[in-house]
């Protein structure tokens, strides 16, 4: 009888291992997970959304902490939160027109307010606001309709719950901090992420933040991330996991992220000593202005040329760009953000084939879209006289040109008859004038000249400024 029981338990354990991909604490991604990674890499460009009741204060997403507000007073913003201008379909259309392929939105930030319908906490947009509607449901449906992938940001740090152990932030919010119970808090997080993954499926990725809040603890804090990740993959093995912890990837993570910096850089001060993974997909997140959440005083937006340059540089380093927008409390996207999206979209309509599905090398089976293998050498290809070790095949060997900090040299050909898009070919120079030649310090900007042989003045200005911006960037 004992032998039969042992065999039964062994079979159960093997089944769990087969489903989750975990064996003896070693994570092995499933084929579905690897496919999700490949799609993620091919997308290259996503939109980040920081939206919550903090938008009502219009002071950014950290206002509860930085404004030294009491959590109970801060919560009154929920009772007045009514985003009458919110239209998920309009949002997604604007993102799609800009050339983005996925959306990452804050489901719950450090202020503890859930922007989705949750049974685990009544402090959410459905139960605690006069709006009373599930904005995430609308967004998930709009993304599915437009073929955009949906990712959820989720804070593992909480400034209002008593069971979350006090870290470096959130000391002025009115918490007592005398009854920490991380196991209880972890169970709460498991409940909420399961709600996200099941209520708004398909969810391609979970984007965690807040790990750094305990980085200076005298006794290292145990976040129990491997346990958390194993649970997530037991719910959906294909779901990608990333964590904005600014350290090396933890067992169970599926992509590595960098805040306000490209891999290998540390200009923002978050990535000191953070080595770049050569096995996981990479993503950098960047703001359009300075703050992540909406700030009425932050009008210092980057130019479209600067943002395009960042996107092109990211792709040259085999990295996705997650570009942030902070929606207003009324549910509308800020006008400057919409204007930038339109200009980026204008550029992407001419150059998306040099962005999507492109990259300098294959990482763990990732890289170019193999469904388009016939044009692998169309993008990021060297001149004939250059050694093929440089940029021969974006799905092939690792690029050494990235050390020199540039994309490479592209050649482009005119639009073919029948409406085909321009291609970038390694073998010969463009056969006609009016088309660009990507050199050391220029960006490929293929276009068809107008009847007068030039682009309209406004469009030419955008393209010329982009080339100048890229020249300075590289």
Q: Phi and psi (nearest 5°) for 320?
A: -80, 155
Quick one: pLDDT band at residue 22, thresholds 50, 70, 90?
low
Could you read off the pLDDT of 394-431 as tens digits, one per residue? 333 333 333 233 333 332 223 233 333 333 332 333 33
DSSP string, 83-144: -TT--HHHHHHHHHHTT--EEEEEEE-TT--BSS--SS-S-BTTTSSSS-S-HHHHHHHHHH
Q: Is 90 exceeded by the pLDDT of residue 91?
A: yes
Judged by phi (left if over 0) then psi (alpha if -120 to 50, else beta), residue 112 lies in left
User: Edge-to-edge, what's the strand order for the sheet holding 45-49?
Assistant: 240-243, 205-209, 149-155, 102-108, 45-49, 319-325, 282-287, 256-259
Residue 339: count other Cβ atoms within 10 Å of its Cβ: 12
DSSP string, 339-387: HHHHHHHHHHHHHGGGTTT--SS-STT-SS-GGGGGGGGGSS---TTS-
Token pair of 409 as six digits: 């040299």
Quick one: pLDDT band at residue 359, thresholds 50, 70, 90?
confident
The rounded percent of the chain whose pLDDT value lies above 90 is: 70
Residue 120: its pLDDT value, please? Answer: 98
Could you read off the pLDDT of 227-248 as tens digits, one per residue? 999 999 999 999 999 999 999 9
Q: Is 60 exceeded by the pLDDT of residue 7?
A: no
Q: Specify the pairing of strand 240-243 against strand 282-287.
A: unpaired
> Higher-confidence residue: 366 or 188?
188
Residues in the chain: 474
Residue 25: its pLDDT value, please? Answer: 64
Residue 300, SS3 per DSSP: coil
Token pair of 155 as six digits: 């804070």
Burial of 364 (0-12, 13-18, 19+ CB in 10 A): middle
Instruction: Report the pLDDT averaged over residues 165-177.
Output: 96
Residue 280, SS3 per DSSP: coil
Q: Is 50 exceeded by the pLDDT of residue 253?
A: yes
Instruction: Report the pLDDT averaged over residues 453-459.
Output: 35
Please provide the average confidence, as pLDDT, over all residues in the chain: 80
């Amino acid at each position: 009888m004992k032998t039969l029981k042992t065999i039964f338990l062994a079979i159960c354990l093997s089944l769990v291992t087969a489903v989750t991909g975990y064996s003896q604490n070693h994570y092995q991604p499933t084929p579905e997970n690897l496919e999700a990674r490949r799609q993620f890499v091919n997308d290259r460009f996503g939109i980040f959304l920081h939206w919550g009741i903090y938008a009502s204060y219009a002071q950014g997403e950290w206002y509860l902490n930085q404004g030294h507000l009491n959590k109970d007073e801060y919560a009154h913003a929920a009772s007045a939160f009514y985003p009458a201008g919110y239209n998920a379909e309009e949002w997604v259309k604007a993102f799609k027109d800009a050339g983005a392929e996925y959306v990452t939105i804050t489901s719950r930030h450090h202020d503890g307010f859930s922007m989705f319908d949750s049974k685990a906490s009544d402090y959410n947009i459905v139960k605690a606001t006069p709006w009373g509607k599930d904005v995430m449901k609308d967004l998930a449906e709009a993304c599915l309709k437009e073929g955009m992938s949906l990712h959820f940001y989720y804070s593992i740090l909480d400034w209002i719950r008593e069971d979350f152990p006090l870290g470096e932030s959130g000391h002025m919010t009115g918490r007592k901090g005398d009854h920490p119970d991380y196991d209880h808090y972890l169970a709460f997080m498991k409940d909420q992420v399961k709600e996200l993954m099941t209520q708004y499926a398909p969810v391609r990725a979970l984007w965690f933040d807040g790990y750094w809040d305990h980085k200076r603890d005298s006794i290292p804090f145990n976040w129990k991330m491997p346990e958390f990740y194993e649970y997530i993959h037991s719910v959906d093995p294909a779901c990608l996991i990333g964590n904005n912890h600014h350290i090396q990837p933890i067992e169970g993570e599926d992509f590595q992220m960098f805040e306000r910096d490209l891999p290998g850089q540390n200009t923002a001060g978050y990535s000191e000593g953070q080595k770049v993974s050569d096995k996981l997909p990479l993503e950098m997140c960047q703001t359009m202005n300075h703050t992540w959440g909406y700030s009425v005083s932050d009008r210092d937006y980057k130019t479209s040329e600067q943002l395009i340059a960042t996107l092109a540089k990211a792709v040259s380093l085999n990295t996705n760009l997650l570009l942030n927008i902070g929606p207003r409390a009324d549910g509308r996207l800020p006008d400057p953000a919409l204007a930038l999206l339109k200009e980026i979209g204008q550029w992407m309509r001419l150059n998306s084939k040099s962005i999507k599905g492109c990259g300098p090398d294959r990482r763990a089976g990732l890289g170019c879209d193999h469904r388009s293998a016939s044009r692998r050498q169309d993008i990021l290809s060297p001149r004939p006289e250059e050694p093929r070790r440089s940029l021969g095949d974006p799905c092939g060997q690792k690029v050494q040109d990235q050390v020199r900090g540039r994309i490479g040299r592209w050649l482009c050909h005119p639009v073919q008859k029948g409406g085909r898009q321009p291609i970038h070919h390694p073998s010969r120079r463009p056969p006609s004038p009016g088309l660009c030649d990507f050199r050391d310090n220029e960006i490929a900007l293929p276009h068809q000249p107008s009847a007068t042989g030039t682009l309209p003045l406004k469009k030419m200005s955008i393209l010329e400024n982009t080339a100048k911006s890229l020249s300075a960037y590289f």
